[in-house]
Amino acid sequence: MTARMPEGGMFIMLDVRRTKLTGEEFAWQLLKEHSVTVMPGESFGNGGAGHIRIALTVDSNILRDACSRIRTLADELCKENR
């Protein structure tokens, strides 16, 4: 997965297309299975399709834990798609 770093904003856009899910599907599954809330990139127009938006405005420990959970889900999905 690759991330688009902010150009002045307080968020990153993470490309989740390798998981074979849309950003919306990934965001919902992440919430249901790992209790992490992100925004689907599709909410921000066609350029955000296949991405999730992660806010960088939370405590660094919370962000680190959320990123670990995001990676866990992505790894699980990529293994399923092999």
pLDDT tens, residue by residue, 30-77: 999 999 999 999 999 999 999 999 999 999 999 999 999 999 999 999
Domain ranges of the chain: 3-80
Task: Compute the distance between CA of residue 52 and CA of residue 38 in angstroms, rounded to an integer.
Answer: 6
Whole-angstrom Cα distance, residue 9 to residue 28? 23
Give 26 or 79, the one with higher predicted confidence: 26
pLDDT at 8 exceeding the cut of 80 = no
CB 53 within 8 Å of CB 38: yes
CATH topology for 3-80 is Aspartate Aminotransferase, domain 1 (3.90.1150)
* Whole-number pLDDT of residue 5: 66
Q: What was the pLDDT predicted at 12?
A: 92
Pick from 28, 24, 32, 16: nearest CA to 81: 16
